[in-house]
């Protein structure tokens, strides 16, 4: 699909994701949000709790560091335990120091005191922010994320991640949201491949995909056309229906 929209990547961080112990859903949620504001998600990467891997991935994905995409969103690894090393890895990627951010500390301590929660060194680890980073508010549980370069660093807990996404979205550059149309046919992919390819050749600015399914003993294919121009998408779907004699 041809597009001049801003581009983005998502970096999911956590051994628990790679082990299968935790089901990842943040990237799925954020992909829908980005599509709705016209940001093209181009890559999703998952790494474990490894300092060097995280730093290398940030450098590879954040355009401000010479990476591939306009924006990078990370999920996970900014909690209070020893394996929450994302903030340190981000600081290393950007070549800056890291220390307790006094605004982050103030917000968290106020929240904890109001709830009768003890302020401990482990909890204050969540106030360690790379120098020069701006805080991302967290309406759910106070401990903030942060934004540095073109990288937005957010929590892995789904409810907190979503709260941070809501805070970040108004700041983001936007483009044209994609539109799509879908058609289901009770024919296997191999029987519709030629027609789909012909329409794809006639509409090179659009994205055409085929996705097989099975219902009982019958095989079918879901055909999806996606693009930034609704009329072009409709015209392409009309052409596909005609080729399939529907």
With a cut of 90, say whether residue 45 has pLDDT above it: yes
Residues 97 and 202 in one domain: no
Q: What was the pLDDT predicted at 1? A: 84
In a domain, 11, yes or no: yes
In a domain, 27, yes or no: yes
Residues 17 and 99 in one domain: yes
In a domain, 1, yes or no: no
With a cut of 90, say whether residue 246 has pLDDT above it: no
Q: Cα–Cα distance between 219 and 207 in angstroms, integer? A: 23
Going by C-beta distance under 8 Å and a sequence separation of 6 or more, which residues neighbour residue 217? none
**Tens digits of residue pLDDT in 203-219:** 999 999 999 999 999 99
In a domain, 55, yes or no: yes
Kindly state the average pLDDT of the residues 214-229: 96
CATH of the domain at 220: 3.30.70.600
Residues 34 and 146 in one domain: yes
Instruction: Say if pTM beats, i.e. exceeds, 0.75.
Output: yes
**Tens digits of residue pLDDT in 75-120:** 999 999 888 999 999 999 999 999 999 999 999 999 989 888 888 8
Q: Cα–Cα distance between 225 and 155 in angstroms, integer? A: 34
Residues 201 and 154 in one domain: no
Q: Give burial (CB, 10 Å; 0-12/13-18/19+) of 33.
A: middle
User: Quick one: pLDDT band at residue 239, thresholds 50, 70, 90?
Assistant: very high
Which residues lie across from 71 on neighbouring strands? 8
Residues 150 and 184 in one domain: no
Kindly state the average pLDDT of the residues 110-136: 92
With a cut of 90, say whether residue 141 has pLDDT above it: no
Which residues form the domain of 216? Answer: 179-243
With a cut of 90, say whether residue 225 has pLDDT above it: yes
Q: Cα–Cα distance between 163 and 154 in angstroms, integer? A: 9
Q: Where is the domain boundary, 171, 194, 211?
A: 171
Q: Where is the domain boundary, 151, 171, 191?
A: 171
**Tens digits of residue pLDDT in 170-212:** 999 999 999 999 999 999 999 999 999 999 999 999 999 999 9
């Amino acid at each position: 699909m041809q597009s001049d929209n801003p581009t983005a990547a998502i970096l999911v961080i956590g051994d628990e994701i790679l082990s299968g112990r935790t089901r990842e859903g943040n990237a799925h949620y954020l992909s829908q949000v980005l599509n709705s504001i016209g940001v093209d998600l181009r890559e999703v990467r998952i790494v474990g709790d490894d300092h060097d891997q995280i730093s290398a991935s940030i450098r590879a994905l954040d355009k401000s560091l010479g990476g591939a995409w306009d924006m990078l969103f990370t999920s996970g690894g900014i909690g209070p335990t020893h394996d929450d090393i994302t903030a340190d890895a981000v600081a290393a990627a950007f070549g800056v120091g890291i220390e307790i951010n006094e605004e982050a500390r103030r917000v968290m301590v106020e929240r904890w005191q109001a709830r009768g929660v003890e302020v401990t060194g482990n909890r204050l680890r969540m106030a360690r922010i790379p120098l020069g980073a701006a805080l991302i508010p967290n309406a759910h549980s106070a401990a903030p994320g942060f934004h540095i370069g073109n990288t937005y660093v957010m929590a892995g807990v789904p409810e907190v991640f979503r709260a941070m996404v809501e805070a970040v979205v108004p700041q983001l550059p936007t483009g044209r949201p994609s539109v799509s149309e879908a058609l289901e046919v009770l024919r296997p992919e191999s029987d519709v491949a030629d027609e789909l390819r012909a329409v794809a050749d006639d509409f090179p600015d659009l994205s055409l995909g085929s996705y097989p399914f099975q219902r009982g003993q019958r095989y079918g294919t879901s055909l999806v056309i996606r693009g930034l121009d609704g009329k072009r998408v409709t015209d392409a779907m009309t052409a596909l229906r005609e080729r399939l004699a529907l």
